[in-house]
Structure 1
Amino acid sequence: MSTHTVSSSAHTARTSVQIVSGIFGAVFLLVGILGFVPGITKDLDTMMFAGHHSQAALLGIFQVSVLHNIVHLLFGIVGLLGLKSRRLAKTYLIVGGIIYAVLWIYGLVVPMESMGNFVPLNTADNWLHFVLAAAMITTGIVFGRKAHTAPQR
């Protein structure tokens, strides 16, 4: 039988999965904000709440709408909350990755000009969602396995 002694510094140290969750969260939050910024988002004046008719494009590449930006903001907030809990961080990365995998498949199946493309999605969004799904699931599994803590600075 072994005992587990935890020092007070271990309570303040974050695990690798928490740091990765925080990084994803910060990026999603930034993307959600930038989706509303003229110049960063091309054709911002055409942005709709939802649907494929929104011609606004983040960085001139990724089609966005108000709903799309709100989803990014929410993903960002939850990712940042993962900094507080290893379990939440791991769940966020894996479940978030699964959501992005479903969104990737959805984007491949639903015609871009149909009413079903309510997010809206274009080819660049679809491939980004694939990369996000793979990255989030992989990091959630790999970094979520062990509770190694990152050194505090």
Structure 2
Amino acid sequence: MSYSSAHPWRAVAGTRSRPALQTAAGVVGAVFLVVGILGFIPGVTTDYGTMQFAGHESQAMLFGVFQVSILHNIVHLLFGVVGLAAMRTAGAARGYLIGGGVIYLALWIYGLVVGSESAANFVPLNRADDWLHLGLGIGMIALGALLGGSRSESAR
């Protein structure tokens, strides 16, 4: 099997690169994967010994800023894997970026509405997480919309 048939996004001559939309989905997915891994590394995650499976009782902080739990890290890992898988087609990449952006905007609203000490704060989320989710939501939707082109184009 030749390189170009094993990697259909490449032209036969190997000069055509992956479309920007698919690259963006892959980069976003890779970042989430790395963040999910870093969440399990003591030192990168401060107060690592306080990490809980879920809930606001977890006082572990990724980079000393973002409250994380085992569940939160697993969600980042899964979201990263989905992003890497979605980069295979333009339609999947667009769906991942826009759909993921909507999910992150919903998480932003959820974080604002639910108190940080509430039992409903099961992910857990703190104010830094909330504002990060706003930025991720807007950024992912913008990438999906601006790089996605028309629906017929992204169906390829």
> What is the CA RMSD across the aligned residues, in angstroms?
1.8
- Aligned to 1:75, which of 73, 79, 88? 79
- Is 1:38 equivalent to 2:42 in the alignment? yes
Deviation of 1:82 (Å): 2.0
Alignment of 1:80-119 (within 5 A): 80-119=84-123
Q: Deviations over 1:25-66 (max 9, x none)?
A: 010000000000010000111000000000000000000000
Question: Quick one: distance in 2 between partners of 1:93 and 1:107?
Answer: 21
TM-score, normalised to structure 1's length? 0.88
Q: Deviations over 1:86-121 (max 9, x none)?
A: 111000000000000000000000011010000000
Deviation of 1:13 (Å): 3.9
- Is 1:27 equivalent to 2:31 in the alignment? yes
Tell me, what secondary structure is at the counterpart of 1:9?
Answer: coil
Question: Quick one: distance in 1 between partners of 2:134 and 2:45?
Answer: 22
Identity of aligned residues (%): 57
- Is 1:128 equivalent to 2:132 in the alignment? yes
The residue number in structure 2 matching 1:9 is: 11
Segments of 5+ residues of structure 2 without an aligned counterpart are 1-9
Question: Quick one: distance in 2 between partners of 1:143 and 1:46?
Answer: 41
Question: Quick one: distance in 2 between partners of 1:44 and 1:136?
Answer: 29
User: Looking at both structures, which has the greater relative contact order when contacts are Cα pairs under 8 Å and sequence separation is at least 6?
Assistant: 1
Question: Quick one: distance in 2 between partners of 1:111 and 1:46?
Answer: 20
